[in-house]
Structure 1
């Protein structure tokens, strides 16, 4: 991750404290100061102070509050992205069957409804994606069943 100017300044402060305590020679301080000034990433800054204590050594008679704040560059925490949830295959099947109800004249309505209900249950149980696809398959399936039921009822009454 790229370092900001404030991060480089904190690293220089740690180097100054180490030099003042005698932990670094003048030449070593100069080299590390130059490297800190041109560092581009947190990793480069962290390497410059990795062998130094986090802050000034606190004498036994001093408390931590008297020693002052410790200025150490804190590298960012890299969290892995959450795993991508799988898409339920039965929900996808329901969507496809539901959409195919239109060109097939509603013949796939019942399978679309059945797979839609199964897909919704599985997406909830398995924490998978695809609930919207299952619902779409259900809607198209029920619409085609309602269409055919209306046609049959009309034929029976007027036929």
Structure 2
């Protein structure tokens, strides 16, 4: 027979064990830890059943702690770390492969192209040509530098070219009307 585990045959109130009353959620967390230990092969079926029965009968958090002390997780959730401490630790512990990719900056010319493209409706197309020039310039720059903002540049280009096309149609109609009348 093996030696008794920390939770077998001991009084519930050990030294240094928190005596805070356990909530239903605490008991459920402890049972979840026990079931996870069983599914990982750390506990036998008979031991799981005994520990689960003791968990549901537990009155304090300390009692629950004794039941899961030899398993990888405990009944109490970890306290969150403050953000300034967490970032350097994450960088040290998590390989770069698993960290989120840094977001590239947005190209300023692309934003300018979109703004000028939107302004074509209010300026009667005057900002159309600058929107097209900035849009093409931004797309070339983004391919070279890897910046983001492709959608902004395309929006500026489309609105700019629509404005230029609108002016071309308007001027063509004026010229045709002048020739027809004269």
Decide: shared fold, TM above 0.5: yes
Q: Distance in 1 between matches of 2:151 and 2:132?
A: 14
Q: Distance in 2 between matches of 1:83 and 1:5?
A: 39
Residues 124 and 104 of structure 1: CA distance in aligned 2, closer, same or farther (over 3 Å): same
Taking the TM superposition and a 5 Å limit, the aligned residue runs for 1:91-106 are 91-106=110-125
Q: CA deviation at 1:36?
A: 2.9
Q: Distance in 2 between matches of 1:32 and 1:158?
A: 95
Q: Distance in 2 between matches of 1:103 and 1:95?
A: 14
2:132 is aligned, of 106, 113, 118, to 113
Residue pair 2:34, 2:68 contacting (<8 A) in 1 also = no
2:99 is aligned, of 55, 74, 80, to 80
Q: CA deviation at 1:12?
A: 4.8
Which of structure 1's runs of 4+ aligned residues deviate more than 3 A? 3-13, 31-34
SS of structure 1 residue aligned to 2:167: helix
SS of structure 2 residue aligned to 1:36: coil
Q: CA deviation at 1:136?
A: 0.8
Gaps of 5+ in 2: 1-31, 44-64, 79-92
Q: CA deviation at 1:121?
A: 1.0
Taking the TM superposition and a 5 Å limit, the aligned residue runs for 1:1-159 are 8=37, 12=42, 34-37=68-71, 39=74, 79-159=98-178
TM-score calculated relative to the size of structure 1: 0.56
Cα deviation code 1:73-92 (max 9, x no counterpart)? xxx96632111121111101
Q: CA deviation at 1:8?
A: 3.9
